[in-house]
Structure 1
Amino acid sequence: MTQPLPEIPPRPAPPSEWVAAPVPPRPPLPAAAAGRRPGIRLPGAPIVLACYVLALALIAFWPTPVDAGAGRLLRFITRVLPVLTYERIEFLANVGLFVPLGVLLALVFARARHLVLPTVFLTTFTIECIQALLLPERTPSVMDMVANTAGGCIGLLLVAGLEALRPRR
């Protein structure tokens, strides 16, 4: 037969100066108060992005080269500024075409900026693949992918730079 365990006497209450008063939870600090600069907000950015993507799709998937009617202008530019060859003009045009995509994606993906460049790269990769498979008059190019991705990167950096210039509150 087992004996019952002896009862343990209750602890005496600590003196009142030892007991801390309950601390109410603090609300989270706003981004500006936490030492970060507030992000740029553009309420209509998703709508502008959708319109831009539509325009980009029209340019990218037009059955004939979009600069076909600009031959005279391009020849004039390359004659006046020989450093601007057709290949350089095309590269710079592709960079410029994708800067707005980088800006708009950075604004729409404000909390997931790490997705901007992969999205730009996948967009340009898809465009070049579709041009290669379905548009015989268009010429897909790895240099177009480099230029497009560089343009998206410049757009992302523009937004980040503007946010860095904003004063802290």
Structure 2
Amino acid sequence: MRLLHNRGFWRVTLGVMLIPLAFIAFWPSPVDQPVQGLLADILSFLHRQGIPRWFNYRFVEASANVGLFVPFGVVSALAFPRKRWWQLGAFGLFISCCIELGQFLFLHNRFASPVDLMTNASGAVIGSLIASVALKRLEAHRLSAADLQ
């Protein structure tokens, strides 16, 4: 339980998490390029099985962007416990803006996208809310356990 409240540990973890995030963001070609054909085949198969057409490549890509930033939001909430969910979402948006600007300026095979800004920030918000709820429940459980003693 002490580790959950160790802000220094979580701040270092957040810094370390930015390294693979930067590799994904600034890889010269889209990271899904090697599997685009396979993904298209899988989606086509799923559509033939009755999965709705809105479950398409854009949906999968947007979901992946949200999912990529959920851990970022969780760790940000642990690193900065006094910040509110919307402040952590703004932090995720800032990091996403840096990524998209870098892609726009330096990577000709990558495309900056406002949708990526929104999905990345959404993932950070979701992650921070998950961490907030989990921490409150753990604290309530700890207090009720202390009351029983």
Same fold? TM cut 0.5 = yes
Give the Cα–Cα distance (whole angstroms) in 2 for the partners of residues 51 and 66 of structure 1: 20
The superposition leaves residues 72-114 of structure 1 with CA deviations (integer Å, 9 ceiling, x where unpaired) of 3211321122332110010000000000110111000012336
Give the Cα–Cα distance (whole angstroms) in 2 for the partners of residues 81 and 158 of structure 1: 30
Aligned to 1:122: 94
Alignment match of 2:5 (pick from 29, 41, 47): 41
Aligned to 1:15: none
Once the two structures are superposed, the pairs formed by residues 13-32 of structure 1 within 5 Å of their partners are none
For 2:5, give the aligned amino acid.
R
1:142 has 2:114 as partner: yes
Change in Cα spacing, 1:76 to 1:41, as seen in structure 2 (3 Å) is: farther
Give the Cα–Cα distance (whole angstroms) in 2 for the partners of residues 96 and 125 of structure 1: 17
The superposition leaves residues 110-154 of structure 1 with CA deviations (integer Å, 9 ceiling, x where unpaired) of 123363122111110111111111111001111111110110011
1:158 has 2:123 as partner: no
Question: Is 2:25–2:99's contact at 8 Å kept on the other side of the alignment?
Answer: yes
SS at structure 1 position matched to 2:122: helix
Identical pairs, percent = 35
Aligned to 2:146: none
The superposition leaves residues 7-52 of structure 1 with CA deviations (integer Å, 9 ceiling, x where unpaired) of xxxxxxxxxxxxxxxxxxxxxxxxxxxxxxxxx4256322321221
Give the Cα–Cα distance (whole angstroms) in 1 for the partners of residues 121 and 38 of structure 2: 26
SS at structure 2 position matched to 1:44: helix
Tell me the number of residue pairs that the alignment of Structure 1 and Structure 2 aligns. Answer: 132
Question: Is 2:65–2:116's contact at 8 Å kept on the other side of the alignment?
Answer: yes
Q: Which structure 2 residue ranges, 5 or more long, are not aligned?
A: 144-149
For 2:129, give the aligned amino acid.
L
Give the Cα–Cα distance (whole angstroms) in 2 for the partners of residues 77 and 148 of structure 1: 25
For 1:73, give the aligned amino acid.
L
Structure possessing the higher radius of gyration over alpha carbons: 1
- Superposition RMSD in Å: 2.0
For 1:130, give the aligned amino acid.
G
For 1:144, give the aligned amino acid.
D
Calculate the TM-score normalised by the size of structure 2: 0.80
Calculate the TM-score normalised by the size of structure 1: 0.71
Q: Which one has a larger percent helix, Structure 1 or Structure 2?
A: 2
1:90 has 2:55 as partner: no
